[in-house]
Structure 1
């Protein structure tokens, strides 16, 4: 039995054990537990490492998510006191107001001298207007005008991220997560930074796709050969990364659950690539059995919906465990496969 067969056997064993892992459900961190993490001055008693590991294992209750995310994104320092956080929040509010004032002042200049500005503003308006923002009872859950404003300020002030279609869907989740406009803006900025702009087409998406291709080749060479024979299938999965898997889950809570794991940096760097690999493995057998062509494969992948975050995280963590056990091989083989696009360092777990 050659090495590829051994790897595939290990992967198959992981699949078989996933169902038992999923039954070991743990309650998320709730408000009383989160409050117990602080001393009288508002300093955290628990380390960042401990809290991050608990979030990975259990997740966050909705009652504490908005506050905890401020620590995870870097909006607040993990070492700050209650008073220091009040000062930081005030400073962030003033900074955001200054950005808004600047945008308002330079907008006439942008309108006349930069054709891209008008095009992007129209894109934003069109994207937001098409967005469905009602709950199951038909109640409006977000202000579209506020969303447009935030996206425009983000475009003008964030040269690196610019604007790409899909941002309106991502930013909506931040608007629903926290109440104040300056908090929405800064949490989104810090989220992009913390996740190394992995959802930005011009920055991180191409790297993710290259790493995904290399990971499939390493863990599942049979599947990799099949996909390679069908054209640029993996490269066509860029919407997964652009929206950070937002459309594949049952609920916003599931999306937040996965995103907060990304923010912890656990269980490994580039966990988003392993999540994408996990999703592909869900349809792998059908793709091979039916010898699907590229269009059918993409249609099948696009129809992956209503997933549960805890399920996906558990499966992806199992793949992480396999990669850690074969760490030397990962360092030697995967970077070599990914080196053509300059992703050598990013492949390391």
Structure 2
């Protein structure tokens, strides 16, 4: 048996010109004919007999950007994408990593159970959040087409409350319950759901959290519109605070603009790859806004009408949106020598 010793492959420092060339090459693959997603057979071929990756992480990420993952592959692949598993781990390493995360989760639960009575009596805001979580989760529809219950709502409440108690940066915000449901549909074990959600927030740099990532995204979106489409930017400015009011797109990471959960997962796994650039969610938001640009200008819509139009975007196709967003980024790269300071972060390396 061959014992693979493959480790994560990092590229050596490169010039700006080489960086742009590499990105253009990666993006160009997604602009052609739609391809079949990575299925279980292909995914397994990426690993050797010991379970170690025998392709580069960059190769796998580019394939995910280009084609996406088959639903049967997502539960395992997302563990690599979020950092739940290391890309350079073996099967044995992953068994140990899962055991450690299970024990860590159980310890967190034990500690939180002990301090919860104190928080309920001494922290007025805690009870408000607890009630809000319960109310949000109870409104979720969690049955399949035959009426069978898909998930345990009490489990979602527990994980959301634990997330609130343990994550000092990200207080509970409405919408987390909808996001967590998608992680529950990917994983069944409670500790896996909790850690996948935690690592997803970290990997995407808290981009969906108000007062952290959302405000930054809105600032960059406004700057991107002004850079790529100054006529549209001027029109929006004349209609009031339109761009800041688009915060629901980022808070839910575009969950409500798609036809199905599969589309949401498809976009989110692209975000997790870090390709084609850092802060790709801003490019995506700009691309969505461009789909209604001409109508907004032609009809000279008011700010309220623009927001109503944007809120009614609910049936996008993820593959088409990703392709268009990559085209937008291509246009952005062609003007890289004119990019203002507030948009330079598109060229910085995402989290590994």
TM-score by length of 2: 0.89
> Does 2:345 correspond to 1:346?
yes
For this pair of structures, how many residues does the alignment match?
A: 319
Aligned-residue RMSD, C-alpha: 1.2
Cα distance between partner residues in 2 of 1:218 and 1:49: 30
Q: In the TM superposition, what is the alpha-carbon distance from 1:138 to its structure 2 partner?
A: 2.2
* Alignment partner, residue 286 of structure 1: 295
Greater per-residue helix proportion: 1
2:82/2:203 contact within 8 Å kept: yes
Written as runs of structure 1 = structure 2, the 5 A alignment for 1:1-349 is: 24-330=33-339, 333=340, 335=341, 338=342, 346-348=345-347
Q: Deviations over 1:88-112 (max 9, x none)?
A: 0000000000101111110011011
CA deviation after TM superposition for structure 1 residue 66, in Å: 0.8
TM-superposed CA distance for 1:135, in Å, is 2.2
User: Relative to 1, partners in 2 of residues 1:115 and 1:86: Cα closer, same or farther, differing over 3 Å?
Assistant: same
String of CA shifts for 1:195-253, please: whole Å, max 9, x gaps.
00000002000000000000000111110000000110000000000000000100000
Tell me how far apart the structure 2 counterparts of residues 264 and 74 of structure 1 sit (CA, whole Å).
11
Flag the 1:132–1:297 CA change in 2: closer, same or farther, 3 A.
Answer: same
Deviation at 1:141, TM superposition (A): 1.5
Judge conservation of contact 2:31–2:327 (CA < 8 Å) in 1. no
CA contact (8 A) 1:274 1:319 kept: yes
Give the drift of 1:133: 1.3
CA shift digits 1:28-75 (9 cap, x unpaired):
000011111111111111110000000000000011111000001000
Matches of 2:225 and 2:213, distance apart in 1: 18
- Deviation, 1:326, is 1.4
CA 1:168–1:312: 2 relative to 1, 3 Å:
same
Could you tell me how far apart the structure 2 residues matched to 1:57 and 1:348 are?
20
User: For the residues of structure 2 that align with 1:202 and 1:60, how far apart are their CA atoms?
Assistant: 32
Q: Do 1:22 and 1:311's aligned partners in 2 also have CA atoms closer than 8 Å?
A: no
Q: Structure 1 runs of 4+ off > 3 angstroms?
A: 344-349
Runs (5+) with no aligned partner, structure 2: 1-29
How far off is 1:308 after superposition? Answer: 0.7
